[in-house]
A and B are shown apart, each in its own frame.
Chain A
Amino acid sequence: MDVSRRGFLKISGAVLATTGLGVSLKPVSAYAQPLKVKYAKETTTICPYCSVGCSIIVSTRQGKVVNTEGDPDSPINRGSLCSKGGSIYQMAVNENRLGKPLYRAPFATEWKEVDWEWALEKIAENVKRSRDVSFKATNEKGELVNRTEGIASVGSAAMDLEECFTYQKFLRGLGLVYIEHQARI
């Protein structure tokens, strides 16, 4: 009962009115916790979630995120954030983040931690093997196609713009044509 009650409340219009979400908040949030961010370094970022593009101030001390909050300077969000944007802190300060490459061998029942060098080399061997087997210089009509038919890729709108450009370069350089991502779904 507890759980569904909570779910019920969160998606009801009443919450919108009482939290003031979506209405103009004065840019006081940046000054709300002076002690927490004292002597901290500030960098700005843009929220990775929805596409509004809210600006966020990230405060760090000794290489650790100590606070994140809405950036009052942004003409888009003027310091406001929604529940997701307000939780960016937990994306960085989170013990469940993957910190090491994991490998699952064929038919294995568990993950194994591996180091980068080993993983990258093995991936490269796989890529080459798949490409060698499935690369077609020409199609059935004899037209030049220079494509790798045995590898597909999905992703990613979660990358930065620069990474998106180089990722498509990487994939098309390998000869992939099965290239898709979130925009299609």
Chain B
Amino acid sequence: MTNHWVDFRNADVILIMGSNPASNHPVSFKWIQEAIDKRGARLLCVDPRFTQSAAKSHVYAPLRSGTDIAFLGGMIKYILDNNLHFDEYVKNYTNASFLVNPALKLPGDNNGVFSGLEGSKYNKDTWSYQTGKDGVITKDPTLQDPNCVFQLLKKHYSRYTPELVTRITGTPKEKLLEIYKEYASTGKPDRAGVELYAMGWTQHTVGVQNIRTMCIIQLLLGNMGIAGGGVAAMRGEGNVQGSTDHGLLFHIWPGYIGAPTASMKTLKDFNEKRTPTTKEKNSLNWWKNTPKYSASFLRSMYGMNASLEEAYALMPKLDDGVNYSWLQIFDQMYRGKFSGFFAWGMNPACSGAHSNKVRAAMGKLDWMVNVNLFDNETGSFWRGPGMDPTKIKTEVFMLPCAASIEKEGSIANSSRLQQWRFKAVNPPGVALPDGDIMSEILFKVKGLYAKQPGAFADPLMKLTWPYGRKTVDGHFHYDPHAVAKEINGFFLEDKKVEVPNKKGEFKEFKKGEPVPAFAWLQDDGSTSSGCWVYCGSYGAVNMAARRGKGDPTGIGLYPEWAWSWPVNRRIIYNGASVDLNGKPWDPKRAVITWDGTKWVGDVPDGVGDPGSGRPPFIMKPDGVASLFGPGLADGPFPEHYEPLECPVEKNMMSPQKNNPAIKRFDKAGVGSDLDVYSGVGSCDPRFPFVCSTYRVSEHWQTGVLTRWCPWLAEMQPGMFVEMSVELAREKGIRNGDKTIVKSPRGQVECTAIVTHRFKPFNIDGNTIHEVGIPWHFGWITTKDRKYSPGDKKAEVFTYGDAANLLTSTIGDANTMIPESKAFMVNVIKK
């Protein structure tokens, strides 16, 4: 999230689209309600289903799953046609004035794709800017040049007429216009609008572009960086913000530093390729500091056991252009490429798209380590439905770990807020904290390498691990404070450092002293920091454990409650909340204010002294936000494409039906035999209904924890399929009937819930039905499975298996997040 939960209360208009916070982030709704009650805020909700959030909204508009870009593209057109954008903001804080290569072709003139498409990859040569002799980007501050970003944006979205959008989305035209009008009203300096999304936007083949479309809207309306504005990515797990910050993904090191590829042979190569440059004179280009963060990270891995260059060489490298993400992992596993697998605090047998493939893949392993609080469908996959244990070779270790209140440490919520948790009780039996378990495995592996020959062991043997100690019980006790200090960072030698932003002024640090903030990190190996964005979180004080309740700005920043990265800033991009002279666009909602000598309010982001001319989006090399985004794989502007499985024969927007830059696992020779499906793209009559997955308040994720909690299991006991009254009538299904929901990949038994919350869509004159299923269930807590002596048995049984048995191996063009929010099924009465 760019802003934070409490900040919802500062908004004038709140758009819920791609999420359902009333059900899935229930306490956040407190702040939405406060905005409605206290400032008369308007709540808009766009969703295929009339959700709990929709029930509380002033305007609800239905849309067919997978058509968000069409809907929002129409809003961009509406804003521009009616001149409702925030002109001064757009001109100064975005790349609207940049002149683009005249050779760029937009989809409207190029059969639905941008220029440069070669197979399923874009050559981006034409997605570039015009530059002068000095390399500076050529601009037209009047925004009139036909090749400037603003005019191209206008041209691109001129195709997104309300009539066409309605035919694609199924949203009634009057509802469409009502939402456009209300949301576009925030394009004024004294109005703020915020958008709330979650997996409803990410789990699509156009997931990143869904969010990009909204970012464009927020920039046109001047809603980024201000109180009550922003784009709220509402995360689905308590610490998924933190686990991402810490690089538990193939493509990033901690702190969003791109992981090295094989062609980056030395640290110098790496830093050159990973550090953006700019010719824009006033741009701060914060990522120019990348070499300081990479050096400090390498020190946190290997300390003084290796030089920086040696440490870099020891780190694993990806092959250039190869993707190692989730769908690839299970595809490779199914082909027998892995002998070992850690499923640590995860339940991929239910959370992985195409779960039948995931479950079959795990049977190809030699061994698996599964760490969890409860027995689950992953650890026990070998005895699941359709499995014959006597034929499955996989050796499985299910290790019991401590729950959140049985150990100490911190988590980062959706607003980048790091909050400390204290230990209340011991874990049950001999269960251990995850930190203890991973430390013990590491020591044991190192022990083996110390005694026996094997593969090159330096990367492992040279790792530092000063994170606890062995006590009399013989166990290693992991010390989260020691790790938190490592993440924050410290000086490795006595060092005199020039004060950031104060030329000629120096400060001396002693070896071992914490680094006060990331601006002090060094690229010469004299500092260590595990994750630069957390630098400043743990010095003399453990900032995450703070419980101060003061609110000096009155806008709910609560700067002394815990700690927020970066540098305790609560609203990022807040440099864009003031005009070029440093005056807040809206003084009643000021995030930062210049008091004549310094900024007061939130920790200022990106701004120099007022009038310095520094553009505020300092994480972008050019200093301004991107209406035109040439960095993405599938286009510099978002374009509507249909989900890979959809109920229409043609994309009504263009001749290009699906996102051309996605990896098609369904094509022969690409994915596995389980992915081949010839019905894609043909409106397969066997699977006539759109299906989307969602959550309920009472369960979390695959239900791996909540299904074992009897209070929760009793409230939401099993798998259901929600459908309209009209579809139920058509299929002869009554409320409460047992049904089978089928896709080309599998089937799940569901209880029918017939409601008015789904309505048939009118898609270009055709009646299209959509159904919805929750994804919290799995066979392990069901009554009718086989139980062996000693097996745990849920106090309240649930029924039904995983929704992901139905979803497919297809991902977003940029992130490879599976398209779980739009696929095709059939529903049959059992």
- The answer to whether B346 touches A182, judged by C-beta atoms less than 8 angstroms apart, is yes
Main secondary structure of the interface of A (DSSP, over half): mixed
Q: Count of A-B contacts with CB under 8 A?
A: 573
- CB pair A3–B718 under 8 Å, yes or no, is yes
**Among residues 363 to 382 in chain B, which have CB atoms less than 8 Å away from a CB atom of chain A?**
366-367, 369, 371-375, 379-380, 382
9-residue interface stretch from B128-136, B186-194, B347-355, B608-616: B347-355
Residues of A within 8 A of B (CB): 1, 3-8, 10-17, 21-24, 41, 43-55, 58, 60, 63-65, 68, 73-78, 80-85, 87-88, 90-92, 94-111, 113, 115-116, 119-135, 137, 139, 141, 143-185
- Asked whether, in the complex, the Cβ of B792 is within 8 Å of the Cβ of A96, the reply is yes
Contact of B424 among A46, A65, A175 (CB under 8 A): A65
Instruction: Give which listed residue, B239, B259, B317, contacts A159 with CB less than 8 A.
Output: B239
CB distance from B551 to the nearest CB of A (A): 7
Q: How far is the CA of A21 from the CA of B459 in the complex (A)?
A: 51
B237 near A50: Cβ-Cβ < 8 Å: yes
- Would you call A182 and B243 a contact (CB within 8 A)? yes
Given contacts A44-B547, A128-B452, A162-B484, 15 further A-B contacts (CB under 8 A): A4-B753, A48-B705, A53-B238, A75-B6, A88-B405, A99-B429, A103-B395, A116-B432, A124-B441, A124-B447, A151-B338, A161-B242, A162-B410, A165-B487, A169-B530
Taking a contact as CB atoms under 8 Å apart, the answer to whether B413 and A63 are in contact is: no
Q: Is B601 an interface residue (CB 8 A)?
A: no
Bound CA–CA A109/B55 (angstroms): 49
CA distance A101 to B52 in the complex (A): 41
Task: Name A76's closest neighbour in chain B (CB-CB).
Answer: B5
Stretch at the interface among B17-25, B65-73, B278-286: B17-25
- Inter-chain CA distance A21–B382, complex, in Å, is 41
Q: Complex: how many Å from CA A65 to CA B340?
A: 37
Closest to A3 in B: B717
Query: In the complex, A51 Cα to B39 Cα: how many Å?
Result: 26
Given A145-B317, A161-B239, A164-B243, A92:B405 Cβ within 8 A = yes
**A99 to B142 Cα, complex, angstroms:** 68
A181, B398: Cβ atoms closer than 8 Å: no
B700 contacts the other chain (CB 8 A) = yes
Known contacts being A53-B414, A184-B325, A184-B817, is A101 close to B26, with CB within 8 Å?
no
A73 touches which one: B315, B339, B344, B547 (CB < 8 A)? B547
16 contacts between A and B (CB under 8 A): A13-B56, A22-B26, A22-B56, A75-B6, A80-B30, A84-B697, A84-B706, A96-B793, A101-B400, A104-B395, A106-B394, A110-B788, A124-B441, A146-B313, A169-B300, A184-B815
Which of A88, A108, A184 has most B Cβ within 10 Å? Answer: A184
Distance between Cα atoms of A175 and B339 in the complex (Å): 14
Most buried by B among A100, A141, A151, A183: A183
Q: Which of A8, A52, A85, A152 contacts B755 (CB 8 A)?
A: A8
Q: Is B231 located at the chain interface by the 8 A CB criterion?
A: no
Known contacts being A53-B414, A182-B346, A184-B815, is A137 close to B736, with CB within 8 Å? Answer: no
Q: Are A160 and B411 in contact (CB under 8 A)?
A: yes
A150 touches B338 (CB 8 A): yes
If A143-B263, A165-B531 touch, whether A154 touches B698 (CB-CB below 8 Å) is no
Complex contact B248–A82 (CB within 8 A): no
Bound together, the chains give a CA A115 to CA B265 distance in angstroms of 44
Measured CA separation A7–B720 after assembly (Å): 8
Of A53, A107, A141, A144, the residue contacting B393 (CB under 8 A) is A107
Q: Which residues of A have CB within 8 Å of B716? A: 7, 10
> A residues within 8 A CB of B495?
none
Once A55-B419, A110-B788, A164-B239 are accepted as A-B contacts, the answer to whether A4 and B751 lie under 8 Å apart by CB is yes
